[in-house]
């Protein structure tokens, strides 16, 4: 994709993380340069990315507002993610793919 171009998000695979107030990690499917994060909960989710499922997310990591989506550009070396919620419990969906808009 040329610099500055816009392309629709094309998903490769999704993982659903059963999140709560204790950090939960998961392997990410796919190898694309984009990661769509959907926080379906009523709490703020905090996201940490890395190369191993031994990650631990904390409230110092990237906040994903309740009920919202965020599209991130990620390196191919990112193969795992950890999520923790500020309160409550619920599902956070992580979808790997390519594209710059959804």
Residue ranges per domain, the chain? 28-98
| pLDDT band, residue 2 (cuts 50/70/90) | low
Residue 62's alpha-carbon distances to 3, 7, 45, 47, in angstroms, are 25, 24, 8, 5
Q: Quick check: 65 and 39 in contact, CB under 8 A?
A: yes
| pLDDT band, residue 5 (cuts 50/70/90) | confident
Sheet with 90-98: strands ordered across:
10-19, 90-98, 34-39, 69-73
pLDDT in tens, 48-84: 999 999 999 999 999 999 999 999 999 999 999 999 9
């Amino acid at each position: 994709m040329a610099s500055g171009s816009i392309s629709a998000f094309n998903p490769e695979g999704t993982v659903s993380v059963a999140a709560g107030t204790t950090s939960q990690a998961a392997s990410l499917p796919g190898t694309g340069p984009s990661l769509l994060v959907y926080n379906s909960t009523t709490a703020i989710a905090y996201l940490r990315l890395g190369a191993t499922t031994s990650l631990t997310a904390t409230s110092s990591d990237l906040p994903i507002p309740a009920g919202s989506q965020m599209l991130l550009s990620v390196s191919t070396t990112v193969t795992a993610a950890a999520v923790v919620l500020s309160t409550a419990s619920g599902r956070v969906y992580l979808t790997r793919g390519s594209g710059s808009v959804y």
